[in-house]
C-alpha cells in the first residue's frame, strides 16, 4: 500500500518517475496500478474529493489540491518526475450544465495551475486525460481526431480549453511535448477485481445498472428514447478500463522516446445503445431490474463512436478487451466484491 507523504521513495532510482494527478480516482487508479506493474516509480497527487486512498496500489499518495500552488510546486520539485499524467477533473456532464463555473475552475483553471508548476520545475512531458465530449454532436461517424471541436456542455468545453493550453504551450516551448487522450465511454474493472469504479453516487450507465441489479438503487433511469438511433437511445463506444490504462503506458513510452505532441481517440470504433447495455447488464447479473424511461438529459449527444486508426498506428496500441460482455462481467465482479465489503 502507498505511504502518505513522510519521505519520498528513493529505491529503484533508475526507474522513470511519473506524477499522476487524480490517481486515486477510477481511471487514474487503474493507470497507477499499470505503471507500478510496469516498473515505474509513481507518485499520486489527489485531493480525495471523489477518489479513494485504498485505490492507490503503487507508489506514494500526496493528499493535495491543484489549487494549492505551493504544495503542488513542492511536490513536483521533491519528486522530480520524468513525466506527468493529469486525470484530476470534474467529469459529470449533467452537473456541468448546472454548475458550469465549477467545471471551468476544476478542469481549466486547475489544469493551468498544473502546467505552470510543471514548466517551472522543468518537466517536459505530460499526458492529458481528455474526452470525446470535445466533439459535441459530430456530423460524421466515426469521429476522427480532425473532427471539428464543438462541445455542447461545459464539461466538454472545459476540456477543450485545457487542450488549447497544451497546444499553445507546445507551440511556444519546443522542449515541451504532450499527448492528449480523448476517451470515449470508459467502463469495466480490473479483471482481477483489485480496482473498479467506487463512487457513492455514480452516473455511468454500466455502474448504475449493476448497482440497480444489486438493489442499491430502486430503478435505472434511461434518459431519452427519441434519439435518431436504431432503438431511440444514445449510442456510445465503450472501452474497457484496462485497455485505456495500456493506452496511457503506450503514450508514456512514446513521449519518453522523444515523440512529439499528439492527440489520440481512445475507443473501439463501434458502439452500443443504452438499451443494448441494459440488456447485457440483465444477462450478466441474472437480475431483471426495473428500468424507467424518462426525458433526455441536457448535454447528451445522440451518438459518439471513435475512429482509432491513429492511436493504433502511432502508439502501437492493441486493445485486448473489446467485448461488451467482458466489460460488464468485470464490472459485475467488482460490484459483488464491493457489496461484500471487499472481503
The catalytic residues are: 155
Neighbours of 9 (CB within 10 A): 16
Q: How far is CA 191 from CA 237, 249, 328, 332, in A?
A: 20, 18, 11, 10
Identify the three-state secondary structure at position 226: coil
List, in sequence order, every residue forming a beta bridge with 125; answer none if it has no partner. 177
Whether residue 24 has a cis bond before it, omega within 30° of 0: no
Q: Are 40 and 16 in contact (CB under 8 A)?
A: yes
Q: Are 307 and 144 in contact (CB under 8 A)?
A: yes
The H or E element containing residue 252 is helix 241-256
Q: How far apart are CA 126 and CA 239, in angstroms?
A: 22
Q: Are 82 and 18 in contact (CB under 8 A)?
A: yes
Residue 7 φ/ψ region, left for φ over 0, alpha for ψ in the -120 to 50 degree band, beta for the rest: beta
Neighbours of 169 (CB within 10 A): 19
8-state DSSP, 105: I
Amino acid at each position: 500500500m502507498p505511504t502518505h507523504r513522510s519521505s519520498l521513495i528513493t529505491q529503484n532510482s533508475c526507474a522513470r518517475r511519473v506524477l499522476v494527478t487524480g490517481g486515486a480516482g477510477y481511471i487514474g487508479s487503474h493507470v497507477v496500478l499499470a505503471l507500478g506493474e510496469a516498473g515505474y516509480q509513481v507518485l499520486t497527487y489527489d485531493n480525495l474529493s471523489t477518489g479513494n486512498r485504498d485505490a492507490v496500489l503503487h507508489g506514494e499518495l500526496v493528499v493535495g489540491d491543484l489549487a494549492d500552488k505551493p504544495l503542488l510546486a513542492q511536490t513536483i520539485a521533491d519528486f522530480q518526475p520524468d513525466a506527468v499524467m493529469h486525470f484530476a477533473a470534474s467529469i459529470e456532464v449533467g452537473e456541468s450544465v448546472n454548475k458550469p463555473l465549477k467545471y471551468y475552475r476544476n478542469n481549466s483553471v486547475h489544469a493551468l495551475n498544473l502546467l505552470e508548476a510543471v514548466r517551472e520545475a522543468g518537466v517536459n512531458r505530460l499526458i492529458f486525460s481528455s474526452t470525446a465530449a470535445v466533439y459535441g454532436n459530430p456530423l460524421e461517424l466515426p469521429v476522427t481526431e480532425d473532427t471539428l471541436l464543438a462541445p455542447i456542455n461545459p464539461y466538454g468545453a472545459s476540456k477543450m480549453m485545457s487542450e488549447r493550453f497544451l497546444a499553445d504551450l507546445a507551440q511556444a516551448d519546443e522542449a515541451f511535448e504532450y499527448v492528449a487522450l480523448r476517451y470515449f465511454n470508459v467502463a469495466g474493472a480490473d479483471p482481477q477485481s483489485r480496482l473498479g469504479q467506487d463512487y457513492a453516487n455514480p452516473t455511468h450507465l454500466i455502474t448504475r445498472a449493476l448497482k440497480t441489479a444489486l438493489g442499491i438503487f430502486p430503478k435505472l433511469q434511461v434518459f431519452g428514447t427519441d434519439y435518431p438511433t436504431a432503438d431511440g437511445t444514445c449510442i456510445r463506444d465503450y472501452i474497457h478500463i484496462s485497455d485505456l490504462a495500456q493506452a496511457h503506458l503506450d503514450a508514456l513510452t512514446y513521449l519518453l522516446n522523444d515523440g512529439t505532441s499528439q492527440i489520440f481517440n481512445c475507443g473501439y470504433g463501434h458502439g452500443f445503445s443504452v438499451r443494448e447495455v441494459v440488456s447485457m447488464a440483465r444477462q450478466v447479473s441474472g437480475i431483471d431490474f426495473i428500468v424507467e424511461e424518462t426525458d433526455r438529459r441536457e448535454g447528451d449527444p445522440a451518438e459518439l463512436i471513435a475512429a482509432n486508426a491513429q492511436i493504433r498506428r502511432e502508439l502501437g496500441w492493441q486493445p485486448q478487451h473489446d467485448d461488451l460482455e467482458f466489460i460488464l462481467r468485470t464490472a459485475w465482479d467488482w460490484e459483488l466484491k464491493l457489496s461484500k465489503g471487499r472481503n
